[in-house]
Structure 1
Amino acid sequence: MTKRVLLGQFMHETNTFCRRLTDESAFRGFYCHEGDAVLDALAGTQNEVAGFADVARAEGWNLVTPVATFATPGGPVTHRAWAAFGERILTAARQDGPFDAVLLSLHGAMVLEDGRDGDARLVRELRAIIGAGVPLVVTLDLHANLAPGMADDADIILSYKTFPHVDMRDTGRRAAEALRLVLSKAPAQAGTVVRKPAMISLPEGGRTDREPMMGLMARAQELTDAGRGILDVSLNAGFTFSDVPEIGPSVSVVHLGAQQVAEQIADELCAAMWAARDADQEEVLTPRQAAGIAATHPAGRGIRPLVLADISDNPGDGAYADSTALLAALLQGGGNDILFGAMHDPEAVAAARAAGRGTDVALSLGGKADPDFGGGPLHVKAHVEHLGDGRFVGGGPMWKGVAQSAGASALLRIGGVRVLVTSHATQALDLEIFRSNGIDPLAMRVVALKSTQHFRAAYAPVSMRICLVDGGGLASPRLERLKYKRIPRPIHPLDN
């Protein structure tokens, strides 16, 4: 008999220190697909939904798809956004059932404007609707702040294995394969064990191209053994910029009737996370140091660009993406042939559009959200080189094939620096965000990005050198600037 499976995606990584709330428009502005359009838009892309669909197609499952949506990280998710997307999934569960199973693509670090864990709420309320006997499978981002209680309501919880996240489709496929196995056996046997050390995050956000995460991931893979009933072992690095009780790294172990073995594995890896809490991290430069390196980077045919990544103003961490410290340093002493982006400044975009392409315009650029985090506005005279609608399709390993939007955009030239300014806060992790706005990053001597790690998937293969920069933005690794009030204490690294 054909299995009917409810499939939903509602993803947000919430920076509770960000003043900019995440409303319904933020989800619809990045990508939002509803009903039959979900599979039409996302099948075949690098997205969990595509992985779900791969297995569903092979198994002949009937997928019911109320909504699939994602918003750039930012402040808490509003009640209006929850009503539009969370409630839509719950309504489908009530009205379109019964279902044989549920597949959910979540982030694991969504916080609602009332301070509640949005992911845990959705899973808990879904369980109340579908009942105890229906398998409920959840995929999470590697940066989930996983609440252990979610395992009381979800049978299977597993996460990405890479950062940059280049395995999103594979994660969806692994989750659906686990569901297939559960449906062929006894659903009541499936379970997930969760453990959390007393840490805010793993070193460097758990980047999987360096130790200690490489070793931790290798050990997790060794311990995944279907023969012993262990279907998946996932390591979550946690999300630093959420002031919530469930903050921090976690281990989740999915098992089929192997509770004791799963607990032993979770305990071992939790201890290994704790032992790695003070691992060495890559050097982070000041804006002035970064500009000095930029000034000396060579130009010429065949020479690859220098990439500067301002990890502190990464909109992928919920920062405002409008800090100006690094841009000011590059304008003052970084030299020519520099590309900078993406700067989030809807007012500057509107001014550029009013002036028109090919004109010069006086602007107050950036620094408007909170000048205490990365500097105030720069008053500049800019030449408008290109105006666009901000739409592009990901071409790199992380978002390949996924259509998204940075909103109305403008490419400005200020002296020797070209600045991409957008209406939506968008992490420039893909080359196509620039190419769709009339400029090829590979033709530039220096490319300065507001990104922490995801950019490496597309830029590491084509760059000569990568340097990390702390421009003082909201996502700076200097956590002493943030006032945590709700996290458990004591916790590393804030307490002894």
Structure 2
Amino acid sequence: MTFTVLTAEFMHESNTFSRLPTALGMFRADTLLMGDEAIAVRREANTELAGFLDVGRARGWSVIHAVSAHATPGGRVTKDAYDHIAGAILAAARNNRDRLDGIALGLHGAMVPDFTDDGEGWLLARLREIVGPDLPIAVTLDLHAMVSADMVRDAQILVSYRTYPHIDMRETGAKAAALLHRTMAGKIAPRTLRAHVPMLDEANAGRTDIPATRALYDRAAAAETGGVLAVSVNAGFTGADVACVGPTVLAVHDRNDPSAEARAREVARDLAARIWDGRRAGGNVFLDVEQAVAEAVAWNGDGPLVIADYADNPGAGAYGDATALLEGLLDAGVDGAVFAPMVDAQAAAELHRHAEGDSVTIDLGGKNDPAFGGGPLRLTGVIERLSDGAYIGDGPIQGGLPHSFGPTAVLRVDGVRVLVVTETMQMVDLQQLRAFGIEPAQARVLVLKSMQHFRAAYQPIASRVIVCDAGGLATPQASRRSYVRAPRPLWPLDRDFDFTAATDP
């Protein structure tokens, strides 16, 4: 039997503390592709859509793809942008309602539009109004999803990534699609249970490269037997001040299996309790600017010293223009260094009014909120490269996908080459430097604005990795952000309270 399936991807991680709203142009700058064009670009890459299509083609699905949309994390998504993209999905569901057998959605789980705290829950509720209560909906989620009760109510199947850095998007899409196919064929009757933990995020933010957190995902995988169809551990996202903030555990079970619900509840409660019990066991050691700079000055290893500028990670909605760490490197006379990226559209435009080889004086960075990571630096340097910013990734995360930083320049200031870009993006791929004439393996020091994703491509070439909290908007010092809507008590903002893991519904 041939099934007709509506597919779509709509992903954004929204930092509600950011002053910069995420408008439609930010999706266009990253990914905003409709229908067959999206399939052509994303079919063979590491994407959820590729996973959906892997299963669909093998099983003879007729696929109606609405849209693939993604923007770099930033402030709340504007209503215009949300309505444009969600509207494409809802219109496809409305126009094909009578022939749909199922829906497969690649979502993030931490999208916050400016009119609701739960972008994914709102979309799923509107879909249910169109297709009714019974049509199976499968959803993939980012490992950093904040999963609401509404999401669990309106999607039978929810499956999240199990890697951070995220390298299993296609695999996750295929897993969700396989469960959707079995549901459409009448072989299973899935339902998802949720356990929520009152923390801003899991202690290690879901890092799957360290044993303490890897054990959570190994336990989840081991529980997937019989009628327990999928178990996901979501680390949560500290940058959103919303009611559903915090880690969750999701357990999809088959209602046709009499014992599956009890086992699903047991594993969800167990994993939620483990997350809570490990709340004090953070794996990162955060250096301040002075400490990180001292490491850079002293470094004499065979390969690069990688300094992760954790707090100014654009991948968590930080501005990407914090200057404190760059200022420290320059003041200390560090040489052989690369600093990437400095997100400053104004500076990039000014540099593009000059030519390669020109010496220029410019105010760089620090223009969005100097309270988080420092204000603009008046610097004089030499323009080494001017570019339109386009590149094609070749690493585990972005491999095969075209991206662009927008107008981009490489500015050498004393011993530091700074990648000055227009569009906000974190460092996850070696081509983000190689495409602009910088060989990362030859740098003495690599400063990368990223929390964790950089490790997928950059850790293999690094001799050492250190992590710096230079005070950007994504600082691990949560008390520097004012949480108003998040429910209390909430670790680590509150510390003297008890928690007993439970599931809902």
Which bin holds the TM-score, normalised by the shorter protein?
A: over 0.9
2:296 aligned with 1:294, yes or no? Answer: yes
Cα 1:438–1:60 change in 2 (3 A) is same
How do 1:45-56 residues align onto structure 2 when only pairs under 5 Å count?
A: 45-56=45-56
> 1:181 matched to which residue of 2?
182
> 2:25 matched to which residue of 1?
25
Q: Residues 433-473 of structure 1, C-alpha deviation per residue, up to 9 Å, x if partnerless?
A: 11111211112111001100000000111100000001100
Structure 1 CA distance for aligned equivalents of residues 436 and 33 of structure 2: 24
> 1:252 matched to which residue of 2?
250
Letter of the 2:180 partner, please give it: L
Contact 2:204/2:213 (CA < 8 Å) preserved in 1? no
Contact 2:204/2:282 (CA < 8 Å) preserved in 1? no
Contact 2:391/2:402 (CA < 8 Å) preserved in 1? yes
Structure 2 CA distance for aligned equivalents of residues 436 and 215 of structure 1: 37
Q: CA deviation at 1:131?
A: 1.3
> 1:491 matched to which residue of 2?
490
Structure 2 CA distance for aligned equivalents of residues 439 and 31 of structure 1: 25
Cα 1:214–1:334 change in 2 (3 A) is farther
How do 1:224-303 residues align onto structure 2 when only pairs under 5 Å count?
A: 224-225=224-225, 227=226, 229-257=227-255, 258-298=260-300, 303=302
Contact 2:5/2:100 (CA < 8 Å) preserved in 1? yes
Contact 1:148/1:195 (CA < 8 Å) preserved in 2? no
Structure 1 CA distance for aligned equivalents of residues 119 and 150 of structure 2: 13
2:135 aligned with 1:137, yes or no? Answer: no
Q: Residues 264-306 of structure 1, C-alpha deviation per residue, up to 9 Å, x if partnerless?
A: 221111111111111142211111111111112126xxx2111
Structure 1 CA distance for aligned equivalents of residues 36 and 333 of structure 2: 49
> 2:503 matched to which residue of 1?
none
Structure 2 CA distance for aligned equivalents of residues 281 and 51 of structure 1: 32
2:11 aligned with 1:15, yes or no? Answer: no
Structure 2 CA distance for aligned equivalents of residues 265 and 243 of structure 1: 28
Structure 2 CA distance for aligned equivalents of residues 334 and 171 of structure 1: 46
Structure 1 CA distance for aligned equivalents of residues 392 and 172 of structure 2: 21
Contact 2:30/2:70 (CA < 8 Å) preserved in 1? yes
Letter of the 1:235 partner, please give it: V
> 1:123 matched to which residue of 2?
124
How do 1:394-433 residues align onto structure 2 when only pairs under 5 Å count?
A: 394-433=393-432
> 2:77 matched to which residue of 1?
77
SS of equivalent residue, structure 1 residue 233: strand
> 1:169 matched to which residue of 2?
170
Q: Residues 359-392 of structure 1, C-alpha deviation per residue, up to 9 Å, x if partnerless?
A: 1111000000000000000000121111111111
Q: CA deviation at 1:407?
A: 1.3
How do 1:435-474 residues align onto structure 2 when only pairs under 5 Å count?
A: 435-474=434-473
Q: CA deviation at 1:141?
A: 0.1
How do 1:189-204 residues align onto structure 2 when only pairs under 5 Å count?
A: 189-204=189-204
Contact 1:46/1:400 (CA < 8 Å) preserved in 2? yes
Contact 1:136/1:156 (CA < 8 Å) preserved in 2? yes
Structure 1 unpaired stretches of 5+: none
> 2:103 matched to which residue of 1?
102
SS of equivalent residue, structure 2 residue 240: coil
More displaced 10-residue stretch of structure 1: 132-141 or 212-221: 212-221
Contact 1:140/1:157 (CA < 8 Å) preserved in 2? yes
Contact 1:292/1:334 (CA < 8 Å) preserved in 2? no
Structure 2 CA distance for aligned equivalents of residues 277 and 362 of structure 1: 47
Cα 1:186–1:128 change in 2 (3 A) is farther
Q: CA deviation at 1:106?
A: 0.4
Structure 2 CA distance for aligned equivalents of residues 487 and 220 of structure 1: 27
Q: CA deviation at 1:115?
A: 3.7
Structure 2 unpaired stretches of 5+: 497-505
Q: CA deviation at 1:148?
A: 2.1
SS of equivalent residue, structure 2 residue 459: helix
Structure 2 CA distance for aligned equivalents of residues 186 and 420 of structure 1: 53
Q: Where has structure 1 moved over 6 Å in runs of 4 or more? A: none
More displaced 10-residue stretch of structure 1: 370-379 or 197-206: 197-206
SS of equivalent residue, structure 2 residue 89: helix
> 2:357 matched to which residue of 1?
358
Q: CA deviation at 1:412?
A: 0.5
Structure 2 CA distance for aligned equivalents of residues 377 and 99 of structure 1: 54
Q: CA deviation at 1:186?
A: 5.1
Letter of the 2:315 partner, please give it: G
Contact 1:31/1:405 (CA < 8 Å) preserved in 2? no
With normalisation by structure 1, the TM-score equals 0.97
> 2:501 matched to which residue of 1?
none
2:136 aligned with 1:155, yes or no? Answer: no
SS of equivalent residue, structure 1 residue 309: strand
Structure 1 CA distance for aligned equivalents of residues 174 and 390 of structure 2: 28
SS of equivalent residue, structure 1 residue 67: strand
Letter of the 2:464 partner, please give it: R
Contact 2:341/2:426 (CA < 8 Å) preserved in 1? yes
Contact 1:103/1:138 (CA < 8 Å) preserved in 2? yes
State the aligned residue count: 490
Structure 1 CA distance for aligned equivalents of residues 471 and 299 of structure 2: 24
Q: Residues 404-433 of structure 1, C-alpha deviation per residue, up to 9 Å, x if partnerless?
A: 221111111000000001101110111111
Q: Residues 14-60 of structure 1, C-alpha deviation per residue, up to 9 Å, x if partnerless?
A: 00000000000001101221111111000110111111111111011
Structure 1 CA distance for aligned equivalents of residues 129 and 264 of structure 2: 26
> 2:500 matched to which residue of 1?
none
Letter of the 2:493 partner, please give it: L
Q: CA deviation at 1:491?
A: 1.0
More displaced 10-residue stretch of structure 1: 102-111 or 400-409: 400-409
With normalisation by structure 2, the TM-score equals 0.95
Letter of the 2:85 partner, please give it: F
Structure 1 CA distance for aligned equivalents of residues 309 and 49 of structure 2: 31
Contact 1:313/1:471 (CA < 8 Å) preserved in 2? yes
Letter of the 2:88 partner, please give it: R
Letter of the 2:76 partner, please give it: P
